[in-house]
Every structure is written in C-alpha cells, then in structure tokens.
Structure 1
Amino acid sequence: MDFISTRGKIQKCGFIDAFLMGLADDGGLIIPEHIPVVPQDQLKAWEQLSYQELMFEIFSYYTNGEIPDEDLKALIHDSYATFRSPDVTPIHTINESLHVLELFHGPTFAFKDVALQFIGNLYSYVSKKQNKIINILGATSGDTGAAAIQGVRGKEGIQICILHPHNKVSKVQELQMTTVHDDNVLNLSVEGNFDDCQRVIKELFADIEFKNKYHLRAINSINFVRILAQTVYYFYAYFQVAKKQSIDAINFSVPTGNFGNIFSGYLAKQMGLPIGKLILATNENNILERFVKEGIYMPGDFLSTYSPSMDIQIASNFERYLYYLNQKDAGKVTELMNEFQQNGKLVIAEADMPQVRSDFDAHGVKGAECLQIIEKYNKESGYLLDPHTACGVAAYEACSDKNEVCVVFATAHPAKFNEALELIPIEQQFPKEIEQLFNQPQYQTVLDYSKEEIVKQLEAFYKV
C-alpha cells in the first residue's frame, strides 16, 4: 500500500512515512493510493473477532508489513489495556432501531482515546526504532488534547504541545489537559476559537523548513492513521448489532465538527462495510449541514454551544472527501482549496450534489433541541446522553426511517459536560477519575491569538 496526497505533489510513501508526515508536504492530506475492498466472506469471518483482533486485521491491509505482526499486535493490546470495558467500544441497545456505541471507555472518557492511545504508542515505537525525536503539535476543541496528552505523557523521546481555545472548552476538558504536570507536556490556552488554533497548526505544518527543523508530528485527524484507527469501530459496531438482529445495512449517526469521525465511516463503507446512511450530526456551527443540503461550504459566525467539541467552522478532513467527490483529481482539489483560501467559500457543482446526498444526510441541532433530547431519553430509557451524543440522537430521529437500524456514536461521557446537564436539570454521579481533577493545580500558558507568540513558545519548548 502506497500513500499519496490529495493535492498530488508528493512522492508515494509507505505507512510509517505517511504517519510521520501527518499533513502532506504539499499542504494536502494523506490518503491511501487505493482503498482496499474486504471480501464479503472475510467480513463474515471477522464477525467473531475481538476488537483488538479486528483492528489488527484492518491495519494489516495498510501497513505493508512495516511493523512486524507481533509488534503490531502488542501495540494494539497495550493501547486498549487501560480501557474500562473489555469490548473497548461496547454497544448499548435503546431499542431494535437505535443502538448507542459507547466510545468513552478510555482514559479521558472521550472517543479520541480510541485512536490516540494507539497513536501515542505508535509514536513511542517509531521513536525507539528509528532513534528519532518526536515533537507532537496539535489543536483541540476539547477532547483531542486530553486524549493525546494521556497517550504520550512521560514517554521518552516525545514532547507534546496542545493549543486549546481559552474558556471555550468544558471545565472537565480543561482540567484533563492542564492538571498534567509532566516535563514533556505544554498546554497553550489561546484567546480565540478552535478554528484560530487549527489555522496556526496547519500553517506550521505547511512550513516545511519549520516542520523539519522541529520534527513536528501530528495527532489531529489530519493524520491518516487516526482516521484508520477510528474506522475499526464502525466495523465492530456493525458486527455487534448483526449478532443481535438480522440486518442488511446499518445507518450511523455521527456527531462531527472536523469531519474526521464521519470520514472514517466513509472509508469503512468504501472498504465494503454495509453502511446505509452516514448522518452528519452538527450543532449551530453547521457548515457541514449546509454543505450537504445546499452544496455550499462556507463558514458562518462562530457560536459557543452546549456541545463545544463540535464548535468548529472549518473542517480539516473535508478535503479528503473532496478528493473522492472529484474522482481523485488532485489538480481539481488543489484548485478548489485555493479558491476556498482566497474567497472563504466553495460552491459544489450541481452535478455532484446527488453523489453528496447519496453519501451523507445531515441535521443541525439547536441548543434547545439538544437539551430536550437529553431529558427525553433520560426519562424514557434511563440512559444519560452527553450533549454531543444528544446531537447524534436528534439527527437519527430527523434522518432515519423507523424501519432502519441506526448506531449513534456516544462520543463522550456526560460527566465531561455537566454544565449543559445542570440546565435541564439532571444530577449525575461523576466517575472518581473526573471528580479528583477539581482538587488539582493547573499548568497552562494563556496567550493572545498570535502566530508569533505561539512560535516563540514552541521554539523554547521543543528539542531539536
């Protein structure tokens, strides 16, 4: 398997080089040269596998043997040994039409742990094997940062800096990042929003001289390995539901802001998983809903919501989908992304819109609807949703027919977003791991939104 860029201007590379490159050196995003299709008899055989066994099988299609089988199995085993569920991502059945895939059983109680525990271990593995310095740089709307820090804190040969928008993440999200006091961790709290943080990250990764000098590595979903790791739980969810009831295809409703989690589903579908609808669940920052319904990709006014991890206007992974929508024409993708950079807007050709609407459905959830869904399902089924998962359930109700089976992704534990639940009001019992955060000191540097100031912090922190 070779890896290429959506903009077509890098040499083909292998799995490890693609992993280390993160953002492609031509400014595009890394993708596999071709998407492998899993035969139906192979899918049937996979149905009985554990999560870890399934991940090994899926990754083996992409790794080219660059990681010996025993090493890959050990990396996978170690990555999920700390999860609170032996299933890693267990299914909770609400009724025959609605299942919830709980993605919050990792160390930081969010779906980002599923990919980032593995990525942290893989970075450590590569650092030791190649004797390379690993300096990780990422931006977070709340969950990525905590999960990434937990994945690499204290590990030799790795340093990590995470940017997050000051006072625009939940208190628990902030504490999970800033109560870590390891020498290899730097938290920068930036006055601005997530898009501001992400913009600086992409600019620094696109600066090849700076990127190479400081050995920058990516943990955001611009890194294809994170997309691939998230693909695993689509397969696993399908198999778990298939064991319980007879299904042909299955819908997935996915809370998403950066388009990474749902693009993993698109990848799974292209690999042959019988997926019906991929439903984009957004909040008031609904650029992706407008793209699906109107064919216009254009940021609106940034709004703070009850689901802050989705408070994103510019979706980093959108370019990957553009590549496939435009029949893998890297030149066309480059043209479109340049147009977006210059005009802040993309209009999708009307001829392409039937394909878009075949690939996705979408629903933007307002704040009142989000809270109503949380209250409704807590009363009717005794199941407590976090605000992001509630957006996913609302999108399921809006976009799925009652005779269709749907899996909604529970992307975070409700304890991470108690501010919203208190408005309903609902009292919840915090897990002890979260409760103890409130008594710990915080370590972060608050600074104005300034690329120059951020670069100064990085230059002082990173080893070269």
Structure 2
Amino acid sequence: MEYISTRGKVGAIGFVDAVLMGLADDGGLLVPKHIPQLSADTLAQWQKLSYPELALELFSLYVDGEIPREDLKKLVDDSYATFRHEEVTPVRRVNNNLHILELFHGPTFAFKDIALQFLGNLYSYISRRTNSIIHILGATSGDTGASAIEGVRGKEGIKICILHPNGKVSKVQELQMTTVDDANVLNLSVEGNFDDCQRIIKELFADVAFKQQYHLRAINSINIARVLAQTVYYFYAYFQLAKQGQAGKVNFSVPTGNFGDIFAGYLAKKMGLPVNKLILATNENNILERFVNEGVYQPGEFHMTYSPSMDIQVASNFERYLYYLYGEDAATTATLMDGFKKEGKIAIPADKLKQVQADFVAYGVQNDECLATIGQYHDEYSYLLDPHTACGVAASEKNTAADEVTVALSTAHPAKFNEAIELIQIEQTFPPQIEALFEKPQHQTLVGGSNDEVKAEILKFF
C-alpha cells in the first residue's frame, strides 16, 4: 500500500514512512493511494472476529506486508490488552432506535486510547527496528494528550511533548496529562485555545528542515495511522448489530471537532461498510455543521462549552475529506487550502454541496441542550452520558427515522467531565484510577501562544 499527499507533492511512500512523516512534507495530509474495497463475503467473514482479530485484518490491508504479520499481531494484541472490557468497544442498547458504542474502556477513559495505544506501540516498534530517535509533538483539546502520553511514557527511544490550552480542558483531563512525571514527557500549557495549539503544531511540522533535524513525529489525527485505527470500531459496531438482526439502516452519530473520528467512518463506508447516515454532531463551535448545511467552511466566534474537546474551529482532518469530495484532485485541494490560509474561508458550489449532504447530516448542539440530554438519559434509561456523547445522542434524536437504528459514539467516560455533570445535580462515582489523580503533584510548563516560545521549550526538551 502506498500513501500520497492530498496536495500532490509527496511521492508515493510506504506505511511506516507515512506514519513517521505525519503531516505531509508539502503541508497536506497523507491518504492511501487506493482505498481497499471489501466484498460482502469478506464482511460476512469478519463479522465472526473478535475486536483484536478485526483490527489485525484491517491494519493488514493498509500495512500490506511492510510489517510482518506476526509482529503486527503482537502490536495489536498488546495495544488492546490494556482495555478494561473484553470486547474493547462494547455496544450498549439504550432503546429501539439507539445504541451506544462505548469507546472509553482504555487506560485514559477516552476513545483516543483505541488509536494511540496502537500508535504508541507502533512508534516503539519502529524505533527498535530502525534504531532511531522518535520525538513526538502533539496538541490536545484534552483527550489526545493523555492517551498519547499513556501510550509512550517511559518507553526507550521516545520523547513526547504535548501542548494543551491553559485552563480550557477539564480538570481530570489536565491531571491525566500533568501528573505523569516520566522523564520522556513534557506538558506545555499554552496561553490561547486549542486552535492556537494546533496551528503551532502544524506550522512547526511544516518547517521540514526543523522536523527532520529533530526527528519530529505526529500523534494528532493528521497521522494516517490514527484514522485507520478508528475505522475498526465502525466495522465492529455494525457487526454486533448484524448479529442481533439489526443490520438494516444503521446510522452512526459522531461527536467531532477535528473531523478525524467521523472521517474514519467515512473511510469505512468507502471501503464497503453499508452505513446509512453519518451524523456529524458538533457543539456551539459549529463550523462543520455550517459547512454541511451551507457549503461554507469559515471559523466563527470561539465558544467555551461543556464539551471542551470539541471546542475547535479549524478541523485538522477536513482537508482529507475535501480531497475525496473533489475526486482525489490534489491540485484543487491545494488551491482550496491555500485560499483558506489567505482568506479564512472555503465556499463550495451547489453540486459539491449536494454531495456533502449525501455524505453527512449535521447538527450543532447548544450548551443547554447538551445538559438536558444528559439529564434525560440518566432519568429515563439510567445511563450517564458525558457531554460529548450527549451531543452525539442529541444529534441522533434529530436525524434518526422510525425505521433506522443509530449507533452514537461515546467518546469519553463521564467522570472526565464532572464539571458539566454537577451542573444538573447528578452525583457520580469516579473510577479509582481517576480518583487517585487528585492526590498527585502536577508537572507542566506555562508558555505563551507564539511559535517561538513553544519552539524554545521544545528545543530544551528534545
């Protein structure tokens, strides 16, 4: 399998090189040169597999022998052995039309563990195999950082630096990152919001000489391995419903800010998974909802919400979708992204908007509606949603017909966002792993929101 850039100026490279490159050297994002197509027979065979077995089959398509199958199997098995549930991502039936796909059974209680446990082990494997240094640099709106740190803390040959927006992640998210005191971990608390952190990361990676000199590697969803790992649970959830005789019109409702999680669903659908609707759930930072409904991609006013991991205006994976929307035309994609950088806006014509609306439906959830949904599902079904999952559930209610079933992705354990849960007078019991965080000292460096200030701290660390 070969990988190419959405902007067309990176020659075809293999899987390992794509993982190491992260952001494409021409500023674009890496995508597979061809998307594997799955037959009905293959889907029927895969339905019988456990989660690790399914992950191995999917990864094998994209790794294409570059990593020996036995080595790849060990990477997969080691990655999902850390999860607290034997099914890794169990599907819970809530009512006749709604199932919850629980993606929070990993070490940091967030869906990011599913990709980052694998990516952490993969980086460690590559470092050992090639005797190379790996310096990981990433930005987080809360969950990515903790999951990435957990995936590589203490591992030889790897250092990791994570930027998070100062005061704009939940307390538990902050503690999960900053109570880690391994020597190979640096937490930078950046003055600004997540979009500032993400911009700094992208601009540092875009400096190809700097990236190569300091062996910088990406863990954000700009890294194609993140997206590939996330496609697995769409297949797994669909298969669980099929076993129950519910594989008719199956929708997926996905709370998303960076477009990575729902892009994984889009990729699964392009591979042949018979998904009915992909429901894109946002919060008050609803740039993606406006794009789906109006065909205009333009950041608006930034809002702090009860679902802070989605408080994002510029979605880092959006470019991958544009590439496919425009028929894999790299030149057009590059022109659109260059125009966005200069003008802060992309407007698409009516025929493209029609295609977007065939690919997605979208709904932006207001703060009050988010809390009301948490309260409603707690009262009616004794099921406690975290605020991001609540956005996905609220969006599913607006977009699920009577003859459809929706799987709402539960992206985090509610204990990670008790600030929101407390507002509606719900008391929850924290898992012991989270409860223990409050007694630990924190380790983080406050830094201004400029490239130079962040770069200076990175250079001291790396």
- Please tell me the TM-score bracket, short chain as reference: over 0.9
Q: Distance in 2 between matches of 1:310 and 1:365?
A: 11
- Match of residue 395 from structure 1: 395
- Match of residue 338 from structure 2: 338
Is contact 2:172-2:434 (8 Å) kept? yes
- Match of residue 279 from structure 1: 279
In the alignment, residue 290 of structure 2 is paired with which amino acid? R
Q: Distance in 2 between matches of 1:27 and 1:424?
A: 44
> What is the DSSP-based 3-state SS (H/G/I as helix, E as strand, rest coil) of the residue aligned with 2:362?
strand
- Match of residue 96 from structure 2: 96
> What is the DSSP-based 3-state SS (H/G/I as helix, E as strand, rest coil) of the residue aligned with 2:276?
strand
In the alignment, residue 440 of structure 1 is paired with which amino acid? K
Is contact 1:336-1:346 (8 Å) kept? yes
Q: Distance in 1 between matches of 2:245 and 2:427?
A: 34
Scaled by the length of structure 2, the TM-score of the pair is 0.99
- Match of residue 156 from structure 2: 156
Q: Distance in 2 between matches of 1:348 and 1:426?
A: 44
The reply to whether residue 65 of structure 1 matches residue 65 of structure 2 is yes
Is contact 2:176-2:437 (8 Å) kept? yes
Q: What is the CA-CA distance between 1:402 and the residue it aligns to? A: 2.2
In the alignment, residue 420 of structure 1 is paired with which amino acid? A
Scaled by the length of structure 1, the TM-score of the pair is 0.99
Q: Distance in 2 between matches of 1:196 and 1:179?
A: 23
The reply to whether residue 453 of structure 1 matches residue 450 of structure 2 is no
- Match of residue 407 from structure 2: 407
Q: What is the CA-CA distance between 1:309 and the residue it aligns to? A: 0.2
Deviations 1:408-461 (A, max 9, x none): 000000000000010001000000000010010000001111111100001111
> % of aligned pairs identical?
67
- Match of residue 116 from structure 1: 116
Q: Distance in 1 between matches of 2:349 and 2:122?
A: 40
Is contact 1:92-1:100 (8 Å) kept? yes
In the alignment, residue 454 of structure 2 is paired with which amino acid? I
Q: Distance in 1 between matches of 2:247 and 2:54?
A: 20
Work out the number of aligned pairs and report it: 462
Q: What is the CA-CA distance between 1:400 and the residue it aligns to? A: 1.4
Q: Distance in 2 between matches of 1:80 and 1:247?
A: 26
Is contact 1:14-1:64 (8 Å) kept? no
Q: What is the CA-CA distance between 1:95 and the residue it aligns to? A: 1.6
Deviations 1:152-189 (A, max 9, x none): 00000000000000000000000000000000000000
Q: What is the CA-CA distance between 1:36 and the residue it aligns to? A: 0.6
- Match of residue 254 from structure 2: 254
Deviations 1:24-78 (A, max 9, x none): 0000000000101111101001101000000111111111201111100000000
Is contact 1:377-1:384 (8 Å) kept? yes
Q: Distance in 1 between matches of 2:411 and 2:113?
A: 10
Q: Distance in 2 between matches of 1:407 and 1:429?
A: 26
Deviations 1:180-205 (A, max 9, x none): 00000000000100000000000011
- Once the two structures are superposed, the pairs formed by residues 310-325 of structure 1 within 5 Å of their partners are 310-325=310-325
Q: Distance in 2 between matches of 1:251 and 1:351?
A: 24
> What is the DSSP-based 3-state SS (H/G/I as helix, E as strand, rest coil) of the residue aligned with 2:423?
coil
Q: Distance in 2 between matches of 1:75 and 1:246?
A: 32
Q: What is the CA-CA distance between 1:248 and the residue it aligns to? A: 2.6
> What is the DSSP-based 3-state SS (H/G/I as helix, E as strand, rest coil) of the residue aligned with 1:159?
strand
Q: Distance in 2 between matches of 1:42 and 1:236?
A: 13
- Match of residue 375 from structure 1: 375
- Match of residue 4 from structure 1: 4
> What is the DSSP-based 3-state SS (H/G/I as helix, E as strand, rest coil) of the residue aligned with 1:61?
helix
Deviations 1:101-148 (A, max 9, x none): 000000000000000000000000000000010000000000000000
> What is the DSSP-based 3-state SS (H/G/I as helix, E as strand, rest coil) of the residue aligned with 1:136?
strand
Identify unmatched segments of 5+ residues in structure 1.
none
In the alignment, residue 316 of structure 2 is paired with which amino acid? S
Q: Distance in 1 between matches of 2:264 and 2:111?
A: 13
Q: Distance in 2 between matches of 1:77 and 1:331?
A: 40
